[in-house]
Homo-oligomer: A and B are copies of this chain.
Amino acid sequence: MQKMDGMNYAPVSTGKVDIVVKKGAFKFAVIGLDHGHVFAMTNGLLEAGATLTSVYDSNDSKVADFLVRYPQAKGVDSIETILQDKEVKLVVSAILPSLRCDLGLRVMEAGKDFFADKPGMLIKDEVQRVRQACNRTGQKYFIYFGERIHVEGAVYTEKLIQSGALGRILSVVILAPHRLNAPSRPSWFFNPKQNGSILVDIGSHQIEQFLSFAGAKSATVVHSCKANYNNSENPLFFDYGDANLVADNGATCYFRVDWFTPDGLKAWGDGRVFVIGTEGTVEIRKYIDVAQSSEGDHVYFVDKEGEHKIEATGKVGFEFFGKMILDCMNRTELAICQDHTLLAMDLAIDADRMAEVIATGTY
């Protein structure tokens, strides 16, 4: 699996895989192939036993590329064809971020659940419209928060926290650098109106992790900032952001997102998570252990007994996808709660709206 480029990072399970449904019992379709995350989302669902039926994008060459990877799918000629297909229970989408909410609302109104790439929404009004639509239709709006659900080190850590091994969670610090590789990016990537600003685009990942690791039901953004330090040729773009949150249970969070991964790093980003509890601490080195291993999912856990290193790859799998399928079939909330998903987006948009701009690319 390539990991130099985050946009096309599509993990596949190497160990534990739970197939949760019989072949053909849960069908999904794909609409919108703008972001490479669509491959990761599709992989996750297929591994858990879902059946891919059809795909639509207005760009034929993107569809052709998708069909090379997934020959079992059928290219269809309109969104409406998928919406009218009663067999399809879930629509997966990595359409332009600014189009996700509107598409999701159409999908839910058509009686299907929706699985959007992150960020699922870009502005408060979209979050509110999705919340209302979920309530009105009873359908689900999932978001692909891949930096937690598709990272075995993170899944392992969640289980460790849930086991009580860390005690009460006090602090979560997340460092989330990403490789820019500007020439490879489409123009919409640099326009916050189309892609969300950095705090929404890649910030929403981090906020969702904080809520999950801290077991928080609500939280407040207490500080945030963003900057364009080194990309003056894209004046609307922000290449740096950070934010602090405090959760209802008193846990704090700082996260930093940036596009400054050096070219020499053997992964698209040296993503880290540090969790402090009253009984122990955890660090996750998600994608690489710098200058030590180009493999990912290293979990460093320290408690009163000692220092423990766990290589999580292949140990816990990506259980989100199977749980999500079951949630769609049984109308449960095992994979994730709808409120949690929408809260993460609400907070990411809060962080962006209140962010002090500390550099504008003209230094």
Given contacts A240-B170, A244-B244, A258-B171, contact A302 B290 (CB under 8 A): yes
A76 within 8 A of B: no
A177 within 8 A of B: yes
* Per-residue interface assignment for chain A, residues 288 to 303, with 1 indicating a CB less than 8 Å from any chain B CB and 0 otherwise: 0011100000001011
| Stretch in A39-47, A155-163, A219-227, A333-341 touching the partner | A219-227
Given contacts A177-B281, A225-B222, contact A303 B264 (CB under 8 A): yes
Q: Does more than half of chain A's interface fall in helix, strand or loop, or is it mixed?
A: strand
Q: Could you tell me if B225 and A264 are in contact, using CB atoms closer than 8 angstroms? A: no
A168 within 8 A of B: yes
A262 within 8 A of B: yes
Q: Could you tell me if A303 and B262 are in contact, using CB atoms closer than 8 angstroms? A: yes
Cβ contacts under 8 Å, A227 to chain B: 170, 250, 252
**Complex-state Cα separation, A280 to B265, whole angstroms:** 10
A56 within 8 A of B: no
Cβ contacts under 8 Å, A191 to chain B: none
Q: How many copies does the complex hold?
A: 2
Q: Which of A316-333 contact B (CB under 8 A)?
A: none
Q: Which of chain B's residues has its CB closest to A281's CB? A: B262
Query: Please, how many residues of chain A have a CB less than 8 angstroms from a CB on the other chain?
Result: 53
Q: Which of A82-134 contact B (CB under 8 A)?
A: none
29 pairs from A and B in contact (CB 8 Å cutoff): A168-B230, A168-B363, A170-B258, A170-B260, A173-B173, A173-B175, A173-B254, A173-B256, A177-B276, A222-B223, A222-B225, A229-B250, A229-B278, A230-B278, A242-B252, A246-B356, A250-B358, A252-B358, A254-B256, A260-B276, A262-B303, A263-B303, A263-B304, A264-B303, A283-B290, A290-B307, A291-B300, A291-B302, A291-B308
